[in-house]
Amino acid sequence: MTYPEDPMDTTIVPPRLSAGLSLHPSGATHGGENTPVIDLADVAVWYGDYQAVRGVSMPVARNQITAMIGPSGCGKSTVLRSLNRMNDLIGGARVTGVVSYHGQDLYARDVDPIEVRRRIGMVFQKPNPFPKSIYDNVTYGLKVNKMDTGRTDDLVEQALRGAALWDEVKDKLKTSALALSGGQQQRLCIARTIAVRPEVILMDEPCSALDPIATGKIEDLMHELAASYTIVIVTHNMQQAARVSHRTAFFTAELDDAGVRHGRLVEFNDTGRIFTNPADKRTEDYITGRFG
Amino acid sequence: MTTTTNPRGPSSADVRAELTRRRFRPAETAFKLALQACLAIGLAFLVALLAFAVTKGWHRLDARLWENMPTGRVSRAGEAGVQSAIWGTVWVISLTAAICLPTGVLAAIYLEEYADNTRWYNRLLELNIQNLAGVPSIVFGILGLGLIARVIGLGFTVATAAVVLSLLVLPTVIIASREAIRAVPQSIRHASYALGATRWQTVSRQVLPAAVPGIATGSILALSRAIGEAAPLILLGAVTFIRFNPDSLLSAYTTLPIQIYNLIKEPQAEFQELAAAAIVLMLVVLLAMNSIAIFVRNRFTKRW
Ligand SMILES: Nc1ncnc2c1ncn2[C@@H]1O[C@H](COP(=O)(O)OP(=O)(O)OP(=O)(O)O)[C@@H](O)[C@H]1O
Ligand SMILES: [Mg+2]
């Protein structure tokens, strides 16, 4: 694999929220020469002695939405967490292989996980707003990253607009975030994440706690965000993967010779290919099984 | 059941009979009675203690309580008060709080948020803290006498008493704070880390504020235990009939429980009554502290 000559020289330019947002992802560069933002090479994740996932090699392309699908327990969340070192927070978790970000190995000794998470943000399956006001939820990331110099109010408004939440909360910014509905809370979590302008946003089943309308809003939002951000989303919902993503990774879990279950990446391709003409029988079974 | 064979389902009269039949459930009843009995025993002792102290000390619950021991104390026993003991308690407990709260909370933060509890030394630490909570207070008194009063040379002072009481209640503060910290959902920490926060930022801005109600409740209960302690202080020279208020960390002192203990030993009826009045005062202080604990818990508890 070839990486830029001096990976440390890659200056990260935070995306601009004000950049023109297009409603539909620009799919022109699928699999093109576009160097990946994140690249996984033979990644395996262990929980103690248990190898939960193995043999994962795939790129994550810039300004695209990459979906991860597969049956429960196949390691989608595990792989997702390995992309911004959230696995560090789980005792005994370990990553082998190479996860590189603009060519820099994220697990190299001298890499600071705090800096990694600042650039690669995450939205969780269950909305988890801080038990503080809506305003404070958005400014928290700015504060801890010392980005709240002046015009904080503008940044809050920008982030909330970016997450399509502004109109619903603009009159009650100082009220508790816990009083919002589940869908609003999830959009607040997205607002909070984009407020610190990460380059990549990881989303672990962000709509699983939401009704179809709230889900629709978040899907629209993802389309818009893809113009400025690189998004990786885990979803159980096939239609959702088909609707929102440019590329899809299909994972499954299989027993090895010793009878231990390991997750693995079966197929990675443009979403259109995965859903219309999968190369692997297992992908086809899974997808047709779900689509009836 | 025969009714289920009826194609139109059971008649409403049958259903009514089934649902409204009085059933006797012996285990339920017995358990409820046992619970009420236990509550009654606990309450009965408290009421008896209060009634005893209040009847006996009633006419001493006045401004004289706020006097100091007069010179020629036996002949003027009726004028004696416990001012120096009140001040002694205030000094000792304030200093105890100042020592044990920061230490206990920081230790709890270390154990919950920083320590890798797969390491044997951290597990040993945890086990020891649990054990320390059960060590008799007199043992802490002996330690204080030997180490802090003599070897370190703080002598029989407010400072020595506060250090020993801090050590005594530290395990309680640590355990209560750990519980409170552990009750903060993991999702909050993850949210914070995912935004690029450091560990200390996560702890100080999210975890601690959310844990404050639990920490405060546990700490107040621990301090009310410290207020009531007499045994270790007897070894640490809490002086009997002290006539002056402490004025520095290195003053000699006495505290309310010690004063009560000493007064009870005196033959004069006046001193007995004064002791009863002091007991009522202590109970009121303890009740007030526990009420604050409950208030803090109810007022500031976060709902997730
Ligand atoms: N913290 C953990 N400690 C130990 N094992 C874990 C941990 N988290 C996940 N695992 C194991 O790793 C495997 C993959 O789990 P993971 O949560 O990544 O699956 P998933 O594909 O996200 O499933 P789902 O779709 O149900 O969310 C499972 O066998 C799971 O039991
Ligand atoms: Mg998952």
Is the pLDDT at A178 greater than 50? The verdict is yes
List pLDDT tens digits, range B60-84.
888 788 877 766 666 677 777 888 8
pLDDT value, residue A13: 39
Using a CB-CB distance cutoff of 8 angstroms, which residues of chain B are in contact with residue A124?
187, 190-191, 194
pLDDT value, residue B239: 66
Is the pLDDT at A225 greater than 60? The verdict is yes
Q: Is the CB of A252 under 6 A from ligand 1?
A: no
Confidence of residue A209 (pLDDT cuts 50, 70, 90): confident
Contact B279, B53 (CB under 8 A): yes
Pick from A91, A124, A192: CB nearest B187? A124
Task: Please state, rounded to an integer, the average pLDDT across all residues of chain A.
Answer: 85
Ligand 2 centroid – CA A77 distance (Å)? 4
Q: Inter-chain contact A130–B192, Cβ cutoff 8 Å?
A: yes
List pLDDT tens digits, range B137-177.
999 999 999 998 889 888 888 999 999 999 999 999 999 99
Is the pLDDT at B193 greater than 60? The verdict is yes
Domain count, chain B: 1
Q: Is the CB of A74 under 6 A from ligand 1?
A: yes
pLDDT value, residue B81: 81
Ligand 2 centroid – CA A210 distance (Å)? 16
Q: Inter-chain contact A128–B187, Cβ cutoff 8 Å?
A: yes
B52 domain residue, yes or no: no
Return the structure tokens found at B300: 């500031």
pLDDT value, residue A101: 95
What are the angstrom distances between the C-alpha of B298 and each of B45, B213, B214, B292, B295? 27, 8, 10, 10, 5
Is the pLDDT at A26 greater than 80? The verdict is no
Ligand 2 centroid – CA A79 distance (Å)? 9
Q: Greatest CA span in chain B, whole angstroms?
A: 98
Report residue B259: phi and psi, to 5°: -65, -40
pLDDT value, residue B290: 87
Distance between CA atoms of residues B301 and B214, nearest Å: 8
Is the pLDDT at A180 greater than 90? The verdict is yes
B94 domain residue, yes or no: yes
Using a CB-CB distance cutoff of 8 angstroms, which residues of chain A are in contact with residue B192?
130, 140, 144
Nearest residue to A208 (alpha-carbon basis) of A245, A235, A232, A229? A235
Pairing of strands A65-69, A247-255: parallel
B95 domain residue, yes or no: yes
How close, in Å, is residue A284 to chain B by CA atoms?
A: 34
With a CB cutoff of 8 Å and minimum separation 6, the contacts of B163 are B99, B144, B148, B154
Q: Where is A169: in which H helix or E strand?
A: helix A166-169
B16 domain residue, yes or no: no
Distance between CA atoms of residues A98 and A103, nearest Å: 10
**Which is more confident, B65 or A249?**
A249
Report residue A253: phi and psi, to 5°: -115, 135
pLDDT value, residue A292: 35
B87: domain CATH number is 1.10.3720.10
A4-18, B153-167, B277-291: segment of lowest average pLDDT: A4-18
Pick from A117, A126, A129: CB nearest B194? A117
B42 domain residue, yes or no: no
DSSP one-letter code for A23: S
Q: Inter-chain contact B195–A126, Cβ cutoff 8 Å?
A: no
pLDDT value, residue B4: 53
B9 domain residue, yes or no: no
**Which is more confident, A91 or A37?**
A37
Distance between CA atoms of residues B210 and B122, nearest Å: 25
User: Ligand 1, closest atom to CA A48?
Assistant: 4
pLDDT value, residue B74: 65
Mean pLDDT calculated for residue range A201-227: 87
pLDDT value, residue B223: 92
Contact A268, A248 (CB under 8 A): yes
Identify the residue whose C-alpha is closest to ligand 1 atom 31.
A73
pLDDT value, residue B299: 80
Partnered with residue A247 across adjacent β-strands are A66, A270
Confidence of residue B5 (pLDDT cuts 50, 70, 90): low
Contact A14, A193 (CB under 8 A): no
B217 domain residue, yes or no: yes
DSSP one-letter code for A14: P
DSSP letters along chain B, please? --GGGSTT-S-HHHHHHHHH-----HHHHHHHHHHHHHHHHHHHHHHHHHHHHHHHHGGG-SGGGGSPPPSSTTTTGGG---HHHHHHHHHHHHHHHHHHHHHHHHHHHIIIII--TTSHHHHHHHHHHHHHTTS-HHHHHHHIIIIIIIIS---SSHHHHHHHHHHHHHHHHHHHHHHHHHTS-HHHHHHHHHTT--HHHHIIIIIHHHHHHHHHHHHHHHHHHHHH--HHHHHTT--TT--S---STTS----HHHHHHHHHHSS-HHHHHHHHHHHHHHHHHHHHHHHHHHHHHHHHPPP-
What's the first-to-final CA gap in chain B, in angstroms? 46
Is the pLDDT at A291 greater than 80? The verdict is no
Return the structure tokens found at B273: 């009554």
Contact B174, B129 (CB under 8 A): yes
How close, in Å, is residue A289 to chain B by CA atoms?
A: 33
pLDDT value, residue A28: 40
Select the residue from A87, A142, A144, A197 to test the B interface by mutation, using most B Cβ atoms within 10 A: A144
Distance between CA atoms of residues A16 and A13, nearest Å: 9
**Interface residues from chain A to B (CB-CB < 8 Å):** 84, 86, 89, 91-92, 114-115, 117-119, 121-122, 124, 126, 128-131, 140-141, 143-145, 178, 189, 192-193, 196
Q: Sheet with A120-123: list strands edge to edge.
A: A104-105, A93-101, A38-47, A50-60, A261-270, A247-255, A65-69, A230-234, A200-204, A120-123
Give the other-Cβ count within 10 Å of A3's Cβ.
Answer: 15
B94-103, B164-173, B292-301: segment of lowest average pLDDT: B292-301
Confidence of residue B241 (pLDDT cuts 50, 70, 90): low
Q: Which residue range forms the structural domain that includes residue B91?
A: 64-70+79-303
Q: Inter-chain contact A193–B194, Cβ cutoff 8 Å?
A: yes
Nearest CA in chain B to A142: B195
Identify the residue whose C-alpha is closest to ligand 1 atom 29.
A73
pLDDT value, residue A263: 94
Confidence of residue A31 (pLDDT cuts 50, 70, 90): very low
Query: Nearest ligand to the C-alpha of residue A204?
Result: 2
- Helix, coil or strand: residue A33: coil
Identify the residue whose C-alpha is closest to ligand 1 atom 25.
A72
Pick from B188, B195, B201: CB nearest A121? B195
Residue type at B303 in one-letter notation = R
pLDDT value, residue A7: 39
pLDDT value, residue A19: 35
Domains delineated in chain A: 36-126+198-287 (3.40.50.300)
Using a CB-CB distance cutoff of 8 angstroms, which residues of chain A are in contact with residue B302?
131
- Helix, coil or strand: residue A288: helix
Q: Inter-chain contact A126–B205, Cβ cutoff 8 Å?
A: no
Residue of A47, A254, A290 with the most ligand 1 atoms within 8 Å of its CB, for mutation: A47
User: Ligand 1, closest atom to CA A74?
Assistant: 21
Return the structure tokens found at A282: 């297992």
Nearest residue to B95 (alpha-carbon basis) of B149, B150, B166, B25? B166
Ligand 1 centroid – CA A185 distance (Å)? 25
B18 domain residue, yes or no: no
pLDDT value, residue B72: 61
What's the first-to-final CA gap in chain A, in angstroms? 39
Return the structure tokens found at B182: 């552990």
How close, in Å, is residue A114 to chain B by CA atoms?
A: 5
Q: What is the dihedral of CA B43, B49, B51, B55, to 10 degrees?
A: -170
